Amino acid sequence: MRSQNPARGSNRPLYTAEQRRRRDESGWTLVQGLLAPFQFLVFLASLALVVRYLVSGVGQEVATVSVVVKTITLYTIMITGAIWEKVVFGRYLFAEAFFWEDVFSMLVIALHTAYLAALAAGALEAHALMWLALAAYAAYVVNAAQFVLKLRAARLQGAATAASAFGTWEGAQ
């Protein structure tokens, strides 16, 4: 039987002791820690440019470039995140601890890729492309929230484990 997701109330930690060690020793952890806020800043700038274009009709080219840059940033964090997941959990994607986050990441990737495909093929006019970008961005926000909540749960579990270990050590005194 598959265990419950740690974020849903199970006492099972997100990481085993070995996985936590691999996570803490991996340079990919730092890469992810740097890329995630960078991607969020790129997202905010691009969102502003896309909305500006949709509201005013001004800045189509810069909005388009910003969505392409956001998509490249997304691909970069997805590839490096898959490498991180392999190092920590032994598989490139869909490790049990991040299964649903990875599933939703596939939707985010699909929407961003659909934008690039439509742009390259000239399949949508500019306004429709920007609405597709907004759909991709909405999915990205949900996915980012999933990861933030999961990492917060891991941090709380780590703190609880440390407090428990301290209490055990203190009781032995």
pLDDT of residue 119: 98
pLDDT of residue 170: 52
Q: Which residues of the chain have a pLDDT value below 70?
A: 1-11, 160-173
CA distances from 171 to 57, 159, 168 (A): 68, 18, 5
pLDDT of residue 77: 97
pLDDT of residue 169: 45
Where in the chain are the domains? 16-166
Is 157 within 8 Å of 13 (Cβ atoms)? yes
CA 9/CA 114 separation, integer angstroms: 36
